[in-house]
Amino acid sequence: MSILDIDERILQLVEVCEFDKSPINDIKEISEGCDIGLIEGGCCNTENIRVLREFRKHCKILIAVGQCSITGGLPAMRNGIPIREIFEEVYYNGPTVANKLIPNDEEIPHILDRVYPCHEIVKIDYFLPGCAPRADLIWEALTALISGKDLSHLTYANFKYD
């Protein structure tokens, strides 16, 4: 959603590109042959992996946006702690737990053994760091890619991890 931080520049963007699947227009399926895919967040469960693979299949260029997608981010703080311990803490021993039950409905995606950064699951072409990434960084990256340049040098002042 940090793409909205580019403010009125989004009007220039819609002049040159078309939004496919996005939280902005709430379309759930990606159409074939999308040029640029922006993915945020790491992979915590099987559904995240399915969506990421869908993106990779349909997008020519895939960009990981934000620290969670690049490093696993804050959800990755659970990495290194056994999954059983986490479930027991959350669904059994937590101070506000009323019904001690670990959800296991088949509708619910399976949680992974740890949080995976996107590039450990599929090939990622570019990375835009930040939490959230600076609007100017997103703007710089999108305008460069749309005009056929690559992203080997991003502006120093926009390149942040926090």
Partner 1 sequence: MEQGHIKITIDGKDIMAREGQSIVQAAREAGVYVPTLCDFKSLKPAGTCRVCSVKVNGKIQSGCTTEVSYGMKIENESPELINLRRGLVEMLFVEGNHMCPSCEKSGNCELQAIAYRYQMAVPRFPFSFPHRKVEAKLPHLLLEHNRCIQCLRCVRGVKAKDGHDIFGFIRRGHNIRITVDTTDPDSLSEVTAQKSNGYLPRRSFD
* Residue 81 binding partner 1, by CB under 8 A: yes
Please return the burial class of 131, using the count of CB atoms within 10 Å of its CB with bins 0-12, 13-18 and 19+. Answer: middle
* Residue 74 binding partner 1, by CB under 8 A: yes
Which pair of structure tokens corresponds to residue 95? 């101070």
Q: Please report how close the Cβ of residue 118 comes to partner 1 at its closest, in angstroms.
A: 9
* Residue 9 binding partner 1, by CB under 8 A: no
Q: Which of 117, 138, 139, 145 binds partner 1 (CB under 8 A)?
A: 117
**CA–CA distance, 62 with 55 (Å, rounded to integer):** 8
- The residues near 130 (Cβ < 8 Å, ≥ 6 apart) are 2, 66, 67, 137, 159, 160, 161, 162
Q: Which of 2, 49, 129, 145 binds partner 1 (CB under 8 A)?
A: 129
**CA–CA distance, 51 with 39 (Å, rounded to integer):** 9
Select 21 or 134, whichever has its Cβ closest to partner 1. Answer: 134
Residue 104 is which amino acid? N
Q: What are residue 53's phi and psi, to 5 degrees?
A: -65, -35
* Residue 72 binding partner 1, by CB under 8 A: yes
Is the Cα dihedral 126, 129, 133, 137 positive or negative?
negative
* Residue 161 binding partner 1, by CB under 8 A: yes
Select 100 or 153, whichever has its Cβ closest to partner 1. Answer: 153
How many residues lie near partner 1 (CB under 8 A)?
Answer: 29
Binding site for partner 1 (CB under 8 A): 64, 67, 70-74, 76-77, 79-81, 114, 117, 119-120, 124, 126-129, 131, 153-154, 156, 159-162
